[in-house]
Amino acid sequence: MTNALRLTALSVVLLGFARPAIAQVEFRPAPGAALGPFTEAVRVGNLLFLSGMIGTDSTGTLVKGGIEAETRQTLENIRRAVVRNGLTMDRVVKCTAFLADIAEWPAMNQVYVTFFPGPKPARSALGGVKLVRDARVEIECIAALR
């Protein structure tokens, strides 16, 4: 076999293995009835995307007590979803916080940091938005699978 033919054959073999991997997508609904037309979490490759969550209790009622109580319940809901998917909060790599009033940012942060005692996830925030059920805060997250 000539060198040119060997190189061509090797190229065909290598190109056959060089196809990009197609990320597996898996929809992971929450247990029980959904509060809307969405999935609690979607795994794409090695990432887990969590839908935005608000501070509702187990009955679906928004907790009372203002931004601190809602932030605590929101993050507890996120923690439960993360654990249901076999992870811990230290695997959360990105969060987006939506606040009805950006002036409540410092109070939200005081609770937020208690859920991430180690390195903090990357984060974005928006304020002055009308949230479902008149919530004060909604947070969505992305976690990295092991």
- Residues 93-108 pLDDT 10s: 999 999 999 999 999 9
DSSP assignments along the chain, one per residue: --HHHHHHHHHHHHHHH-SPPPPPEEEEPPSS--SSSS-SEEEETTEEEEEEE--B-TTSPBPSSHHHHHHHHHHHHHHHHHHHTT--GGGEEEEEEEES-GGGHHHHHHHHGGG--SSPPEEEEEES---GGG-SEEEEEEEE--
pLDDT tens by residue, 109-137: 999 999 999 999 999 999 999 999 999 99
User: What pLDDT sits at residue 92?
Assistant: 98
The rounded mean pLDDT for the chain is 88
Give the model's pLDDT for residue 6: 47
Domains of the chain, each with CATH number or no CATH: 24-144 (3.30.1330.40)
> What pLDDT score was predicted for residue 140?
98
pLDDT tens per residue, range 50-60: 999 999 999 99
Residue 107 has a pLDDT of: 98
pLDDT tier, 3 (very low <50, low <70, confident <90, very high otherwise) = low
The residue among 21 and 115 whose pLDDT is bigger is 115
pLDDT value at 41 more than 60: yes
Does the pTM surpass 0.85? The reply is no
**Is the predicted pLDDT of residue 8 greater than 70, yes or no?**
no
Percent of the chain with pLDDT over 70: 84
Predicted confidence at residue 5, as pLDDT, reads 43
